[in-house]
Chains A and B, each alone.
Chain A
Amino acid sequence: MTEQEQITTDLHPLHLTVNGKDVDSVLDSRISLADFLRHELRLTGTHLGCEQGSCGACTVIVDGVAVRSCLMFAVQLNGSTVETVESLCVDGQLSRLQQAFHEEHALQCGFCTSGFLMSLTAHLREHQVTNDQEAREALSGNICRCTGYAGMVKALLAVGDGESTTQ
Chain B
Amino acid sequence: MTDTTTISSGHKTVTGTGVKRREDRRLLTGEGKFLDDLNFSEFLEAAIVRSTVAHARVRSIDVSGAIDLPGVAGVYTAGDLEELLQNLPPKVVHPDMSHRVRFPIVLDEACYVGEIIAVVVAENRRIAEDAVDLVIVDYEPLPVVASTASALDKDGPIAHLDAPDNVCVHITQKAGDPDGALLSAPHVLSETFVISRGGGHSMEGRAVAARFDEVAGELTVWDATQAPHYARQMLAVFYEMTEDQIRVIAPEDVGGGFGPKAQFYGEEVLIPFLAKKLGRPIKWIEDRWENFVSSAPERTQTHRMSVGFDDEGKLIVIKDIFEHDQGAYCLGLQVPSITMSTLPGPYKIANIHSELFSCYTNMVPTSSLRGAGRPQAVYVMERMMDRIAEHLGIAPEEVRRRNLIQADEFPYAVGLLFRDGSPLTYDSGNYPGLLEKAESRIDLSAFRDRQIRERKEGRFLGVGIGMCVEGTGLGPYEGARVRLTNFGRIMLTLAAAPQGQGYQTVYAQLAADALNLDMDVIDVRHGDTGNIPFGQGTFGSRVTANAAPAVVDACTQLKGDLVKAASMLLGVPVDQIELSGTGAFVVDDPERTMSLLEITRAFNVGRHGIAVKPGSPVGLERTAYFTPERAAYSSSINICVVEVDPETGMVELLRSVLVHDCGTVLNPLLVDGQVYGGFAHGVGNALYEEMHFDESGQPQTVSYLDYALPGALELVTPELVDQETPSPLNPLGVKGVGESGTIPTPAAIANAVEDALRPFGARFNRLPITPMRVLDALGVLD
Contacts and interface: CB of A to CB of B under 8 A. Distances in A.
A157 B676 CA distance: 18
A46 B30 contact: yes
B32 to A, nearest CB: 5
A76 interface: no
Contacts of B256: 108-109, 111, 145-146
Contact of B712 (A4, A43, A152): A152
B34 A117 contact: no
A139 interface: yes
Interface string B21-54: 1011111111110101101010000000000000
Interface in A1-48: 4-5, 7-8, 28, 30-31, 38-39, 42-48
Contacts of B680: 145, 147-149
A49 B28 contact: no
Interface stretch (B196-204, B483-491, B748-756): B196-204
A150 B203 contact: no
B204 A52 contact: no
Contacts of B204: 47, 49, 109, 111
B287 interface: yes
Interface residues of B, number: 61
Interface in B685-734: 703-705, 709, 711-713, 715, 717-718
A35 to B, nearest CB: 8
Nearest to A45: B30
Interface string A85-111: 110110000100010011101011111
B677 A108 contact: yes
B643 to A, nearest CB: 15
Interface residues of A, number: 61
A135 B676 contact: no
Most buried by A among B258, B499, B673, B712: B712
Contacts of A141: 711
B683 to A, nearest CB: 8
Contact of A149 (B23, B25, B258, B715): B715
Interface string B204-220: 10000000000000000
A98 B20 CA distance: 13
Given A47-B34, A147-B677, A110 B27 contact: yes
B497 to A, nearest CB: 12
Interface in B163-215: 200-204
Contacts of B41: 39
Contact of B28 (A109, A113, A147): A113
Interface string B1-26: 00000000000000000001101111
Please classify the interface of chain A as helix (H, G, I), strand (E, B), loop, or mixed, using the class held by over half of its residues. Answer: loop
Contacts of B25: 94, 102
B702 to A, nearest CB: 10
Interface string A105-128: 101111111100100000000000
B712 A139 contact: yes
B255 A109 contact: yes
Most buried by B among A7, A46, A109: A109
A143 B704 contact: yes
A57 B287 CA distance: 13
Given A5-B70, A98-B28, A105-B670, A143 B717 contact: no
A78 interface: no
Given A54-B704, A98-B29, A109-B254, A143 B21 contact: no
Contacts of A144: 203
A55 B709 CA distance: 10
Nearest to B258: A145
Given A8-B126, A51-B287, A110-B23, A57 B672 contact: no
Contacts of B30: 43-46, 84-86, 114
Interface in A55-86: 55, 57, 84-86
Most buried by B among A4, A54, A135, A141: A4
A109 B597 CA distance: 34
B711 A146 contact: no
B63 to A, nearest CB: 15
Contacts of A102: 20-21, 24-25, 28
B500 A110 contact: yes
Given A45-B32, A47-B204, A150-B672, 14 more contacts: A4-B130, A31-B126, A43-B30, A50-B703, A55-B203, A55-B704, A98-B29, A109-B204, A109-B499, A111-B34, A111-B253, A144-B203, A145-B258, A145-B677
Nearest 6 Cβ contacts at the A-B interface? A45-B30, A110-B27, A109-B500, A111-B255, A108-B500, A148-B680
14 contacts: A43-B30, A44-B36, A44-B37, A49-B203, A54-B705, A84-B30, A85-B28, A86-B29, A94-B28, A102-B25, A117-B28, A143-B203, A146-B500, A148-B718
